[in-house]
Amino acid sequence: MSPVAAWHVVVAGGGVAGVEALLGLFALGEGDLQLTLVAPEERFTLRPHAVAEPFGGPPAPSVPLADIARETRARLVRDRMRALAPSGDAIELEMGGELGFDALVVAVGARMRPLHPGVVTFSGPTAVPGVRAVVADLTHRRAQSVAFVVPEGPAWPLPMYELALLTRGRAQRRRIVLVTPEPSPLALFGPEPSHAVGELLAQAGIEVHAGARPGITADGDAVDLGTGEAPLAVDRIVAAPVLEGPRIEGLPADEDGFIPVDEHCRVPGLARVYAAGDGTSGPVKHGGLAAMQADSAIRHLAAEAGGMLPPKPYRPVLRGRLLTGGVDRFLRHDPDGEDTVHEEPLWQPPAKVVGHYLAPWLTYRHPEAMRREAEPSVHGIEVDARL
């Protein structure tokens, strides 16, 4: 990439989208871009692994953000983006002060809140003890039933399917219920994969209520389907969080607070401001799609700075690996192609977090983390984010 303008590029957010953007900017800029990563966390954590931990899987691998910053020659600022400054060329930090930029990638993620305060909210590693307690209650007969609930709105429903299937492996004679607003199981992958997953759930004896408008009753011990039917009384409830947009001052937002973007992940009406990840508008939230958005944003940004590669619009393709404790299912949905479900891997490595820049970096710089990513004992759904 030469010649290239020596822009100062700020990446706000230390999740998948932020790290993918930082690694990609370092590669595309050939070290000529001045990079700053703004993130409140100390570590980048491979959050999808958390679904396996209550069932004996290892803790989610993590990498210090300082390592990533050092290897990309980026300045690391342990803070959070509070607002876009009125000037349009700086961000205001939560702990005070401003940070100027020539280009900005906003990758701050979505806000999460519980569907109900009385149920277990599965939001990642911090929810592992709660899920582990639910599984223990079922296996030790302190509870006879459990419901896994996908709320309405923007979401990534796959962890609830994983938890239901993995719980069945530990609680053979208990009632397991899955409640989702989707018209059919994992409908986002298309008819054939959805049908295959539906059969898998039926074979496992998991009771599915699709097309619901889920809510939790006031006392927290039943699931209201929102369809006029009687609430489902269960002993335990585990729900995915309700996701809301970040609502960052100075940035446009839809009615739910999510940031709108165009096909190159540019934020409308703002110069050299991009956004990627769960904080952007769109019905499906997942790290793989976040990485794809980051790749589209940095390709456009790098081209604007004088790079040789042309911009490449965001085109979401879902590739999902469903590990059930039995035979894996590999799922693929291409909006412009065919939907696929197969028992053999459809991509390599078959890891949970795959990004065009992130996967190679983990493989060569942190092989232990990547090896644990691809272990078949880790249960989860994968999304491949290759360009």
Mean pLDDT by 10 residues, the chain (387 residues): 75 97 93 94 89 88 93 97 97 97 98 96 95 97 97 93 93 95 95 94 96 95 94 97 97 97 97 97 90 96 91 87 76 84 74 79 72 48 30
The answer to whether 285 and 110 have CB atoms below 8 angstroms apart is yes
Pairing of the two strands 236-239 and 242-244: unpaired
Q: Tokens at residue 358, please?
A: 């992130």
User: How far apart, in whole angstroms, are the C-alpha atoms of residue 199 and residue 212?
Assistant: 19
* Sign (positive or negative) of CA dihedral 112, 115, 119, 123: negative
Which class would CATH give 8-110+245-385?
A: alpha beta
Element (H, E) at 9: strand 8-12
Amino acid at 249: E
What local confidence, expressed as pLDDT, does residue 132 receive? 97
Three-state DSSP at 175 gives strand
CATH number for region 113-238: 3.50.50.60
- Domain spans in the chain, listed from the N-terminal domain onward: 8-110+245-385, 113-238
DSSP characters over 29-84: TTT-SEEEEE-S-SEEE-GGGGGTGGGTPPPPPEEEHHHHHHHTT-EEE-S-EEEE
Q: Tokens at residue 341, please?
A: 């479900």
Neighbours of 315 (CB within 10 A): 12
User: How far apart, in whole angstroms, are the C-alpha atoms of residue 313 and residue 299?
Assistant: 9
Q: What is the pTM of this model?
A: 0.91
The answer to whether 147 and 232 have CB atoms below 8 angstroms apart is yes
pLDDT tens digits along 6-40: 899 999 999 999 999 999 999 998 778 999 999 99
Amino acid at 139: T
113-238 matches 8-110+245-385 in CATH topology: yes
User: How far apart, in whole angstroms, are the C-alpha atoms of residue 371 and residue 151?
Assistant: 33
Kindly give, in sequence order, each residue whose CB lies less than 8 Å from that of residue 127, ignoring residues fewer than 6 positions away. Answer: 50, 120, 121
Instruction: Give start and end residues of each alpha helix (H) in 171-326.
Output: 191-203, 287-304
Widest distance between CA atoms in the chain:
67
